[in-house]
Structure 1
Amino acid sequence: MRVVQLGTGTPELAVVAAIHGDEPCGVRAVERLIEEEPSVKRPVKLVVANEEALERSVRYVDEDLNRAFPGHPEAETHEGRLAHELGAELEGCLTFSMHSTQSHADPFAIVDELSETTRDLCPQLPVTALVETGPFAGGRLFSGADAVEVECGLQGSDAAAENADRLTRAFLTAVGALPGDTVRRDLPVYQLVDRIDKAAADTYEVFVDNFERVEEGAAFAAADGEKQVASEGFYPVLLSPYGYRNVFGYTARKLETLTASTVAE
C-alpha cells in the first residue's frame, strides 16, 4: 500500500485507488495529483491500496479486498491483512474510493446508506446515479471507513481514467480541499434489493440497460441461451454478462431523486 499526503496537518479526507488490481483508472488520477502537488485547503491522504494485485493486473491476490473488511492483522490472506491495514489508515477520514466496471459506461456513486453527508456531497459529483447497498455492504470498504465509492466507467478504458480524474477533483472541491465551485445536479437514488444468480454456462447474455426499469415478465439475461425472466419489475444495477463469476448483478428499487434545488437550499 502506498500512501502520500497533500498538505500539512492531520487529514480528514482520503482518496483511494486500486482496491482491485485490474481497475487502474483511479491510480492514474492519484498519480496525477501526486505529480502536480496542488495547494490544498485541507490535507488529503492519497492511497494506492492493493499494489501487489495491481502489479499482477489481477482483481485480487487471495480474495476480493472489497469483501474483506474490516480484516485482521493475522488474516490468512493478503487482502485480509491489507483490509485491516487500510482501515487503520483511513480511520477518521471521509474516503473517496474509485472503481471501474464491465456493466455501465457512465459514472455512478455507491454508499452503504444515505446520510446528511452523502445527500449533500453526491449531487456535486459528475455521476448519473446514486446506489445504496442496503444489505449488501458487508465486507466492503464501508465496513472499515466512512466512504463513497464511485464506478468511473468501463474497466480498462481511457474514458474511465479521465472520469476518475474529473470525479476526484470534484470530490476534493466539494469538501473544500481544492478551490472552486461544483455543479449540483438532480440525482436518482436506487437501493439494492437482491442478487441475480447465474447458473454455470459457457455463454452469458444481458438484454437490458442498467438503471432502466425491467418490467415483470421481461427477459433480461440468458445463460447458454436459456432466458431469465423478471418475476417482478426492478431496476438492474451492475448487470453484465461476465463482470461477476456467480451473479449477473443486482435488482434494485428507486427510492427518490435528490434535486439540485432542494439540496442547495
Structure 2
Amino acid sequence: MRIREFGDDPEVAVVAGIHGDEPCGPGAVESLLADPPAFGRPVKFVVANEAALERGVRYLDEDLNRAFPGDAEAESHERRLAARLLTELDGCTTLALHSTQSYAGPFALVDTVNPATAELCAELPVDAVVETDAYAGGRLIDYPRTVEVECGLQWSETAVANGRGLVTAFLEATGVLPSEGQGSDNVPVFRLTNRVPKAPATNHEVFVDNFERVEPGVPFASADGEDRVAEEPFYPILMSADGYEDVFGYAGERVGRLADVATRADRGVSATDARQDVPANHR
C-alpha cells in the first residue's frame, strides 16, 4: 500500500487501486500529484492493492472490496490489506476510485443517501448516484463518509481523465482545494433492488443500457442465445456481459433526484418510502 500525505493528521482521503485491474484511479492520482497543487487542508492519497496492480489482476486471494473490515492476522493478502486500509482511513471523508465494464460515464455509489453523502455527491461530475444498501456487504462504502465513484470503462484513458476530474471536484467539496461551485443536486438517484444472475454459458450478451428503464416483456440479456426477458420494469445498473462471473449486474429502481432524496433522508424517510413520491412511469 502506497500513501502520500500532505499536512498533519488528514481528515480527507482519496483511495485508488482497490482492484488491480482498474488502473484509472492510480493514473488519476499520479496525474494530480505529478505537480501537486497547494492544498488548503491536510489530505492523503492511498494506492491500495499495489501487488494486484503490478500483476494487472483484480486481486491476489480475494476481492478487497468484499473483504472489509479485514483481519490483520489473516492468511489472505486482501483481508490483511483491508484491515490496514481501514486504519489509514479512520476518521476520514473518503473518495474511492473504480472503473467498470458496464457504463462509460462517471457515477457515484453510496451505502445510503443522507445529508453528508448527498452534499459530497452534489459536487461531483456524475451522471447518477446509486444506493447499494443491503448489497454492499464487505465494501468500503459500508463505512461512514465514504463515496465510491465509477470513473468509466475499465482500462480506458477516458476513465483516467474522468478520475482526475472526480478527484479535483471531491477535493473542492471537502475544502482541500478552492471550490468553483459547479456541482448539481439534480442528478437521478437509483437504488439496487435485485441481483440479476446469469447462467454459465460460452457467450453472454446484454441488450439494454444502464440507467435506462426496461419495460416488462423486453429481452434484456442472453446466455448462449437464450434470452432473459423482464418480468417487471427495472433499471439496469452495473450490468454487462462479462463484468461479473455469476451475475449480469443489478436491477434497480429510481427513487428521485439527489436534492429530494437527501431532504427525505434528513427527515428520516427511507428510500423505499421515498419511491412512493416518484411517478410510476419513472420508477
Q: Same fold (TM over 0.5)?
A: yes
Match of 1:198 in 2: 198
Match of 1:159 in 2: 158
Question: Which deviations, in whole Å up to 9, do the C-alpha atoms of 1:5-39 show, x marking residues without a partner?
Answer: 12x22111000000000000010111123221211
Question: Which deviations, in whole Å up to 9, do the C-alpha atoms of 1:107-166 show, x marking residues without a partner?
Answer: 000000111111111121110000000111111012355310000000000100000001
How much has 1:75 moved relative to structure 2?
Answer: 1.4
Identity of aligned residues (%): 56
Q: Secondary structure at the match of 1:124?
A: coil
How much has 1:76 moved relative to structure 2?
Answer: 2.0
Aligned letter for 1:226?
Answer: E
Aligned length: 261
Q: Secondary structure at the match of 1:36?
A: coil
- List gaps (5 residues or longer) in structure 2: 264-283
The 10-residue stretch of structure 1 (73-82 or 32-41) with the greater mean CA deviation from structure 2: 32-41
Match of 1:250 in 2: 250
Q: Matches of residues 22-101 of structure 1 in structure 2 within 5 Å?
A: 22-101=21-100
How has the CA–CA distance of structure 1 residues 213 and 136 changed in structure 2, closer, same or farther, with 3 Å as cutoff?
same
* Alignment root-mean-square deviation, CA: 1.4
Report if aligned partners of 1:69, 1:144 keep a CA contact under 8 Å in 2: no
Aligned letter for 2:229?
Answer: V
Report if aligned partners of 2:23, 2:53 keep a CA contact under 8 Å in 1: yes
The 10-residue stretch of structure 1 (90-99 or 172-181) with the greater mean CA deviation from structure 2: 172-181
Report if aligned partners of 2:123, 2:181 keep a CA contact under 8 Å in 1: yes
Question: Which deviations, in whole Å up to 9, do the C-alpha atoms of 1:165-207 show, x marking residues without a partner?
Answer: 0110001011111013131221100000010000100000000
Q: Matches of residues 8-19 of structure 1 in structure 2 within 5 Å?
A: 8-19=7-18
- 1:147 equivalent to 2:149? Answer no
- List gaps (5 residues or longer) in structure 1: none
Match of 1:175 in 2: 174
Match of 1:218 in 2: 218
Counterpart-to-counterpart distance in 2, 1:147 and 1:258:
16
Runs of 4+ in 1 over 4 A off after TM superposition: none
Counterpart-to-counterpart distance in 2, 1:27 and 1:43:
20
Aligned letter for 1:116?
Answer: P
Report if aligned partners of 1:70, 1:144 keep a CA contact under 8 Å in 2: no
How much has 1:231 moved relative to structure 2?
Answer: 1.2
TM-score normalised by L of structure 2: 0.89
Question: Which deviations, in whole Å up to 9, do the C-alpha atoms of 1:35-81 show, x marking residues without a partner?
Answer: 21211111111000000000000000011100000000111210010
How much has 1:236 moved relative to structure 2?
Answer: 0.5
Report if aligned partners of 1:174, 1:181 keep a CA contact under 8 Å in 2: no
Counterpart-to-counterpart distance in 2, 1:201 and 1:45:
43
Report if aligned partners of 1:124, 1:184 keep a CA contact under 8 Å in 2: yes
Counterpart-to-counterpart distance in 1, 2:115 and 2:225:
45
